[in-house]
Structure 1
């Protein structure tokens, strides 16, 4: 099998419209342009032989590599230490708002001694389906296909000798030798062709300074001052990197088809905006003081609601959309790609987009409600669209659905979907009362109360003494950790306490939390999966809300040890601690922020002596 870097052995850079992953060995192995959901330009992450890469590495194999972010920025530094010297590759994408042209700067510098770097540029347009021609000049190279163009301009001084480079089957190979203090490199531009000219070192350093200033200024707006500031700030920057600035949409992850199980088929495309993720984001962003981002995301959500009202008079929403709000996410398989470590099929697009998932209405309404209490209340037309949406929920909450985890095993009466329909109607009733808005209050109240009664009867398992995944099973589901968070049940209610204990016994392993047991609840897919990082952070919040502060804090601290070297999390954690699934995942970082804010609040509210204590030996 070809040599793949670990999923966790990557850092993320971006320009708020697209992003790139760079491995600890200096290889840029995932980059799509001009948008997150565009076809790939470099895709070696999913097929090292056919995917394409841009590698900058020492010419010797005897080196040690380290990677870090420049503090409070999205500027990534990959350091190489050899017997002859120390060198760095500094990667960043300038933020300029241009939707057609995207730039990626790779500064190469020698810090100590001397170092020779090997450079290989081998793009593969449109998932390696679009042929291209290579045109090389003294100051760079152009790769040009029928629909895609990539220009690589050298960063150099006027007195430099002509670069030693050659073209081999369309790929460019070069070598760069530097002494201490020298800086050179390359600037990639997508969407442009034409004449090539070099980029002077001073100009590249100016772009570096501007990019650093942007990120330091942005994170400087963060109002979080709690115990885990470094991790929260890194999560906030990561979420910003996954935000499509022209519309405010937040993608679930910048990658596609990274597996939930090595060699398995659970390989999905996450480069889209889920209504659920976007809704959670509004609350998280507001909790950190990022009102502008929360407002933009809330506007994106309201636009989807308004569009649906214009089309059909209200609901159902699609569960996910492209970053521009379009709804075509046709799923296809790339049979010519091997997949990460042989994990096929490689899927692009997402066939789950058309699923019925009732929980999204509660999450959307909860975010709109929270936004309204923070100065983001909808206007008249927005309220009419919300009213139409809630009328649909009131009439349709009782139908079977696919559920939050997008299983492909058929529709069920999922308890979490019912719970969030309760939230949708409850928040609508509150908004109508608080703002004096016209609404069919009796209908909404009647249906909200009917949902409550049904969950307490059919959603409750007397045998398990716990709330169940759906009405036709005894399986537990960690999505229900949100029951007290949304106000459906109090943290001290005996039914909730026994549910939490049952989850701990069955779904929690060394503080990590599974979504559910696939063996006990067939989901229409082969194979297994790791623990779900979102659920672990939700477990922290649930413990904190229940007053189990020592256990909540220990669980949170243990979970932080599973982050990669840069503080980034993928979707899942495997049996031996490896990161699995698409990377980095917005949902995980949102949940980290929420857990940190919740835990900080509860720790500040209750003196440590009053907190319920659990010893390390009793840790679950």
Structure 2
């Protein structure tokens, strides 16, 4: 622990498909927003250890070790405490919420002694609305109620009615916090249930009822995991990534948040501290393809419905018919503000909520959206007439607007530029639109779309290729490399065996790859309008694996993939970036990284299997 903060990687994720919480390896819940991912925090000590609020449960003193694991094939997190007198467990989970928006959410924390005897000190210290809203606490024999503005949080005790009363050991503080001490012997189980939006009166929850909630939650997750069609070499890692993506889904809309956190730094002490609790068109689009590759067609369809709704309602603005990101319910209002009272994770100020990048022009999103729609159509999820009309309006707009500077995929704040990746994905947008129109005989200005697609191709070959670098580059007229271009072969713009592509792959390897880890670009060579540096991007490393595999550099791809797996945390979770020291940085866990992990694993599996099959036939 450094200055009151555990490492970002020292956390696990639980959730109910409408919101989530982070649980640290010391038994502290230090990030929890309710009723939605993007709601104000109730626990936020992850971003300010003194002001943020937390729920902690641990043995007294420091004479213990901790271990953390997920209950197999679930999102139920177990934190184990090993002491001289015995072994105890803290079991955290959230019963899955309904698929309609709800203010009623439950967070269950069960504590039990599994060997010998053990004591637990429990502290409940909520801080509502990012610590800006004071609360009142009412304590009873059965728990406590917290009121802050319109928010009501209820804490109910888990115990059997015939067990000893705990009220005399519930110790409220002047700050509106609550402390509780528990002494358990082998086989005993106690705990608490936190509930928002439900009955404000706490009650005693029998142990048997808590056990039923646990069993039901296990059943839900194991049934869901059982739908996966993946049976490759990296089943455990792929499965955990799939569960993580499911946890980051807002079930009522099908939207996928980029991460459940806000403000975690890309550089310790730096200013690259963004709010990721929103749905990017890019991430949602990629998730469609990834989940279909795993056999999760209903989830892919749900994300597709979210995407189709954004396409259908596209009204047009100064940055085009689609915004780059939305709130999970489709609201485009993401105004950015700074939490002035919070110090930030390990002093990384400012802490931002909302996201000012929402108003940027990023042309690549049209290609990613059209790729997802095309994949959904290929899987049998058809496009109705209103949807097709919306698509034609968007592509007609793109025909007029693709050839202009933009902010790009990395959301730089250094001004608009002619980014090659943006042009590449505009090519994808027209190409997929043409395929859809011709496959179904849909009315479309095909001649114009074909002309624009071909113009983009020619332009990229002439301006995106740098003859001195022998590589496709980040932006026209500059020699900077960019890892986003690792998708060129994946989307079919070039063959994975094309000499120009192989030269690009070699150049990226020489300049952006550091012992398997991949940087997005060199910020010193391409200023992005922000101070400080950043680590390697976990997403880009998995894109690199995918690109190597497609070009039949299988030994390198497999070694890179296996090395990257060692940078995941103890639960197989990844934040956005990895520092020079191997420390995870940025918002956690990041959906984009887990999407790319799944894609890389499937592509690598397929190529390895194909090579093995050819080898057997050769014998």
Q: Does 1:8 align with 2:17?
A: no
CA contact (8 A) 1:321 1:327 kept: yes
What is the aligned partner in structure 2 of residue 382 from structure 1? Answer: 387
Cross-structure match for 1:140: 143
Structure 2, unaligned runs of 5 or more: none
Aligned equivalent of 1:507, options 492, 506, 512: 512
Written as runs of structure 1 = structure 2, the 5 A alignment for 1:390-405 is 390-405=395-410
Question: 1:618 maps to what in 2?
Answer: none
Alpha-carbon shift at residue 253 of structure 1 (Å): 0.2
Inter-partner Cα distance in structure 2 for 1:91 and 1:312: 44
Alignment of 1:51-66 (within 5 A): 51-66=52-67
- For 1:287 and 1:2, the matched residues in 2 are separated by 43
Contact 1:314/1:388 (<8 A) preserved:
no
User: How many Å separate the matches in 1 of 2:259 and 2:31?
Assistant: 12
SS in 1 for 2:533: coil
Q: Contact conserved, 1:415 with 1:471, CA < 8 A, in 2? A: yes
Greater shift, 115-124 or 165-174, is seen at 165-174
Rounded Cα–Cα distance in structure 2 between residues aligned with 1:409 and 1:193: 50
Q: Where does residue 92 of structure 2 map in the other structure?
A: 91
SS at match of 1:301: helix
- Tell me by how many angstroms 1:607 deviates: 2.7
Alpha-carbon distance, 1:148 to partner: 1.3
**Structure 1: unaligned runs, 5 residues or longer:** 612-620
Alignment-derived partner of residue 266 in structure 2:
260
Q: Does the 8 Å contact 1:319/1:357 carry over to 2? A: yes
Distance 2:608 2:298 in 1: 29
Q: Deviations over 1:219-243 (max 9, x none)?
A: 1000000110010000000000000
Distance in 2 (CA, whole Å) between partners of 1:204 and 1:346 is 36
Residue 151 of structure 1 pairs with residue 158 of structure 2: no
- State whether residues 290 and 599 of structure 2, in contact with CA within 8 Å, keep that contact through their aligned partners in structure 1: yes
Other structure's SS at 2:78 match: strand
- Secondary structure (helix, strand or coil) at the match of 1:308 reads coil
Whether 1:226 and 2:227 are equivalent positions in the alignment is: no
Report the Cα offset of residue 161 of structure 1. 2.2
Distance 1:252 1:314, change over 3 A: closer
Question: What does residue 614 of structure 1 align with?
Answer: none
Report if the CA contact (8 A) 1:314-1:392 is conserved: no
Number of corresponding residues: 610
Kindly indicate whether residue 605 of structure 2 is the aligned counterpart of residue 607 of structure 1.
no
Whole-angstrom distance in 2 between the partners of 1:197 and 1:493: 67
Matched, 1:126 2:132: no
Taking a change above 3 Å as real, the CA distance of residues 315 and 438 of structure 1, as seen in their structure-2 partners, is farther
| Aligned residue among 300, 325, 330 for 2:330 | 325
Match of 1:302 among 308, 321, 332: 308
Given the alignment, which residue of 214, 220, 225 partners 1:214? 220
Q: Are residues 1:104 and 2:110 paired?
A: no
Alpha-carbon distance between aligned partners in 2 of 1:22 and 1:138, rounded to the nearest angstrom: 27
Which residue does 2:600 correspond to in 1? 595
- Matched-pair contact (CA < 8 Å) for 2:15–2:21: yes
Partner of 2:528: 523
Is 1:353 equivalent to 2:358 in the alignment?
yes
Give 2:580's match in structure 1, choosing from 575, 593, 604.
Answer: 575
**Would you say the 8 A contact 2:87–2:118 is kept in 1?**
yes
**What TM-score do you get using the length of structure 1 for normalisation?**
0.97
Counterpart residue number, 1:556: 561
Moved more, 154-163 or 496-505: 154-163
Task: Judge conservation of contact 1:329–1:350 (CA < 8 Å) in 2.
Answer: yes
Q: CA deviation at 1:378?
A: 1.0
> How far, CA to CA, are the matches of 2:614 and 2:123 in structure 1?
59
2:243 alignment partner, SS class: helix
Q: Distance in 1 between matches of 2:419 and 2:286?
A: 20
Aligned to 2:205: 199
Secondary structure of 1:606's counterpart equals helix
Give RMSD over aligned pairs: 1.4
CA distance in 2, matches of 1:217, 1:610: 37
Question: Aligned match of 1:373 in 378, 398, 402?
Answer: 378
| CA distance in 2: counterparts of 1:95 and 1:481, whole angstroms | 37
Q: Is the 8 A contact 2:18 2:97 kept in 1?
A: no
Q: Secondary structure at the match of 1:443?
A: helix
2:451 paired residue number: 446
Give me the whole-angstrom Cα distance separating, in 2, the residues matched to 1:283 and 1:326.
24
Match of 1:478 in 2: 483
2:48 paired residue number? 47
Matches of 1:596 and 1:226 in 2, distance apart? Answer: 8
Question: Which runs of structure 2 are paired with 1:452-463 in the superposition (5 Å)?
Answer: 452-463=457-468
For 1:565 and 1:497, how far apart are their aligned partners in 2? 35
